[in-house]
Copies of this chain bind each other. A is one copy, B any other.
């Protein structure tokens, strides 16, 4: 029964996911059609929609692991009372997240605002606000929040472009940048 399962099923599913990742990364979510994905896989558009309920479901499954880790980071940050500790946890956690899921993050590009409107991603908006607050040392000063937001957005926007840089090197460079650039908790 288990071994009797037709082989191409999971394989095609994964191929569609991989192809979608590449296409989304190249032209964004909105800029990629189901036909584009099907062409890259070598199947029909209907086959794509056989394996996934709709276009958004592809994105949701694609982002699931990253969102899970983001959730865990949010919990760890929320557990910190000391702003300096929270800033440290947020810094290291976010850099790890960005490096590890740079491929997934890259394909969102500037479509965050629209995607966050969709119910599947609604809670991410609040998480990112808490992350920014933690990076800013929970300060209300404009300059601290500006620094945090610029760095967060900058890393999210660019981390997918450093394919030739190793995880360790990228992690070290981003950590050094954040340590230098974020305003310290006074």
Question: A: which residues have CB within 8 A of B?
Answer: 27-28, 30-31, 108-111, 113-114, 142-143, 146-147, 149-155, 157-158, 161-162, 165, 169-170, 172-174, 176-177, 180-181
Contact = CB atoms under 8 A, between A and B. Distances in A.
A132 B154 CA distance: 13
Given A30-B30, A110-B157, A177 B150 contact: yes
B146 A157 contact: no
29 contacts: A27-B113, A27-B114, A30-B30, A30-B31, A108-B110, A109-B109, A109-B111, A142-B162, A142-B170, A143-B172, A143-B173, A143-B176, A146-B173, A147-B173, A149-B154, A149-B158, A150-B151, A150-B154, A150-B155, A150-B177, A151-B151, A151-B154, A151-B181, A152-B154, A153-B154, A153-B158, A154-B154, A177-B181, A180-B181
B177 A146 contact: yes
Contact of A146 (B28, B150, B170): B170
A23 B95 CA distance: 33
B27 A177 contact: no
Contacts of A28: 110-111, 114
B173 A149 contact: no
Contacts of A172: 143
Contacts of A27: 113-114
Contacts of A31: 30, 114
